[in-house]
Amino acid sequence: MLLQISITNFAIFKDAVFEPGDGYNAVTGESGAGKSVIVNALSLICGVRAYKEMIRTGESEATIEAVFRIPKRKKKLVEEILNITDELLVITREIHKDKPSICKINGKIRNLSQITEISSLFIDIHGQYENQTLMNIENHIKYLDDFASKNLRTVLIDYKKLLKEYNRATDSILSVSGGEAERERNRQILEFQIEEIESARLERINEKQLIERKNLLENAEKYRQSTGVALNILEGEGLSFTDNLRKAIKELETLPDNEKLKNIINNMNESFYQLEDSTSELNRFNEIIEFDDKEFEEILDKIDKLNDLKRKYGTTLNEVVEFHDKALLQLNKIINFKKDYAKNLERLSDLENQLITLDRKLTSIRKTSSKILKEAIIKELFDMGMKDSVIEVKFEKNNYKNKLGYTNFPLNGLDECEFLISLNKGLAPVTLGKVASGGEMSRIMLSFKTVFSYKDDTETVVFDEIDSGISGEASIAVAEKLEKLSKDKQIVCITHLPQIAARAKNHYIIKKNSIGSITKATVKKVIKETEKIDVIASLTDGENITEEGRNHAIKILNENKKHFN
């Protein structure tokens, strides 16, 4: 359940706190007061992208923070996703003008996808735009699958697993199943590439050693001169450097024992042996330096060939080898095309039959679930005054073919479905968008939302002006539906209708105040009876409340008092 949402420097809110209670919460306010800002703030908590333009004018950053109570049944799932065992879940969005925005969960920085995943367990927002999603036929199969998810899941997992294998088999055949002339061209190209790489005998070449030898030969004269000078210094006429060092050590060894001197002598001994070894190695290095024109040309030729291979087949020799191995596999496929093609087609045909069988199971489950779904929605519509409603679910099969002439299976099966509706007796069900007005669409959407809300375990459902386009008896029916839904869920409803606001257990009003050039909005819970009357009356009369408006508000509140307890 949503316990609190704090809003700082966001849109027209300077510093506001909204603390909805359990059950049915109504949020009202004059047009432009900031009701939609509450929904926008909650949308950020649900993972909607943040923009710098959302920051309040004159401020450098904005913060939205929502606190949810984690129910016992979800603690294990939250722990698996986030590795936290807290009683509360705190989601924070920080929007900055001069640096990237930050997402946090219980104080730890998380990515936006994690915010989206975890918030979906706690809150569901129904905005006005969702009516359009319901009218989009492509979304109907998603609604149905969400409703049938428990029964559909196992079959869909098997279907998707088999579909991966089917698509791999299709791609494998298509990769070599061009015309005879095309396969011959590819064969010749692959053979040339393989021969060019193999002729370089890369397995015998150590590129690092080759370059090192090239550098040695290229600078042979310099090496000989400098190493000769160094050896003359170390082994010059008379006593050499090592002889002098040895002589100095022997002189020091004649002195009486002294711990510090002993360490010095030991270090000098080590230096003597290291210098002696280094001198010997330097002699050997000097002796092997000999420039060879033929060897140098051969090395340059090898390096040029290696660079040419890397330009064609990869930036490193390892990548060239990988290219060779892949080319060899592709060549083998072309060589064995006829034998493998028949075998692969047989396998593809078998996979197609298995997928068709699974797809039929999906269809069967969907049709069974659609009957349950449409009856549930019809009941909800009946409760909201649309007593002659009829809903049908029309199924069709997607029969597209791939390049091989086999079935092109979509990710969720071949089914396409559409919800059809009739709101009056004697009229055949037709597409939703053709029959429903704005007010009717709101009630239809609320019916879907109610059915799905009972099915899932999201605790908080937010409705942003679900009452758009309705009035009179329809608004009373919607209010009753929201109040009924609030028995099992925490409902937050942004509304402008007195009938819907009066039904709420908790009522909040958003006010916008301007002082000079500064405007800010506040959220306040309506507690006093006299204040409730004025707030409900203002939804009809506006700022200038009439006595008639107050009497109407008193009547509505008295009719709904039994629902407040």
- Token readout for 519 is 């405007």
Spatial CB neighbours of 459, under 8 Å, sequence gap ≥ 6? 1, 2, 71, 122, 123, 489, 490
**Is 395 strand, coil or helix?**
strand
Q: What does the block give as tokens for 479? A: 């209010």
Q: pTM score, two decimals?
A: 0.64
Q: How far is CA 482 from CA 127, 328, 436, 438, 447, in A?
A: 15, 67, 21, 18, 10
CB of 103 within 8 A of CB of 40? no
Q: Which of these, 87, 78, 146, lies nearest to 117 by C-alpha position?
A: 78
CATH number reported for the structural domain that contains residue 46 in this entry: 3.40.50.300
pLDDT of residue 562: 60
- Tell me which DSSP letter residue 138 carries: G
Q: Residue 553 is which amino acid?
A: A
Within its chain, how far is the Cα of 277 from the centroid? Answer: 62
Identify whether 39 is part of a domain.
Answer: yes
Are 211 and 319 within one domain?
yes
User: Which of 266, 295, 330 is a domain's end point?
Assistant: 330
Give the pLDDT of the chain (565 residues) as one tens digit per residue.
999 999 999 988 989 999 999 999 999 987 766 788 888 999 999 999 999 999 998 899 999 999 999 988 888 888 888 888 889 999 999 999 999 999 999 999 999 999 998 998 899 888 665 666 777 888 899 889 988 888 899 999 999 999 999 999 888 788 766 666 777 788 888 888 888 888 878 777 777 777 777 776 766 667 777 777 777 766 766 557 777 777 777 877 777 777 887 888 788 888 888 887 887 887 777 776 776 677 777 777 777 788 888 888 888 878 888 888 888 888 887 777 777 777 878 899 999 999 999 999 999 999 999 999 999 999 988 888 888 899 999 999 988 888 888 999 999 999 999 999 998 888 888 887 777 666 677 788 888 888 877 776 788 999 887 777 777 777 888 888 888 889 889 999 998 889 899 999 999 999 888 777 777 888 999 988 888 898 899 888 787 888 888 888 888 888 876 655 5
Confirm whether 565 is domain-assigned: no
Question: What pLDDT is attached to residue 130?
Answer: 64
Last residue of a domain, one of 298, 330, 362: 330
CA 501 – CA 224 distance, rounded (Å): 97
| Domain edge (last residue) among 313, 330, 347 | 330
Instruction: Look at the chain and report how many structural domains it folds into.
Output: 2
142 in a structural domain: no
Residue listed under structure tokens 């004018």: 57
Q: What is the pLDDT of residue 353?
A: 95
Nearest to 120 by CA among 459, 489, 469: 459
Residues contacting 222, CB < 8 A, separation 6+: none
Angstrom CA distances, 335 to 115, 184, 191, 404, stand at 52, 10, 11, 20
Q: How many CA atoms lie within 13 A of 178 on its CB side?
A: 10
Q: Check whether residue 321 and residue 228 sit in a common domain.
A: yes
Q: What angle, rounded to 10 degrees, do the helices at 140-147 and 149-174 form?
A: 130
pLDDT of residue 128: 60
Q: How far apart are CA 172 and CA 50, in angstroms?
A: 43
Smallest CA-to-CA distance from 519 within 63, 56, 134, 201 is with: 56
Contact 447, 377 (CB under 8 A): yes
pLDDT at 375: 92
pLDDT attached to residue 539 = 86
- What angle, 0 to 180 degrees and rounded to 10, lies between the N-to-C axes of helices 337-383 and 149-174? 150
Q: Domain range holding 205?
A: 198-330
Same domain, 101 and 214: no
Residue 26 belongs to some domain of the structure:
yes
Does residue 13 sit in the same domain as residue 112? Answer: yes
Q: SS3 string of 111-148?
A: CHHHHHHHHCCCEEEECCCHHHHHHCHHHHHHHHHHHC
Residues 13 and 118 in one domain: yes
Q: Identify whether residues 220 and 320 lie together within a single domain.
A: yes
Q: Are residues 96 and 202 in the same domain?
A: no
Scanning 289-414, the segments in alpha helix (DSSP H) are 293-313, 317-335, 337-383
Evaluate whether residue 307 is within a structural domain.
yes
Q: Is residue 77 assigned to a domain?
A: yes
**Is 494 within a domain?**
yes
Q: Are residues 230 and 315 in the same domain?
A: yes
In a domain, 548, yes or no: no
Question: Is the domain of 8 the same as that of 108?
Answer: yes
Pair 203, 305 in one domain: yes
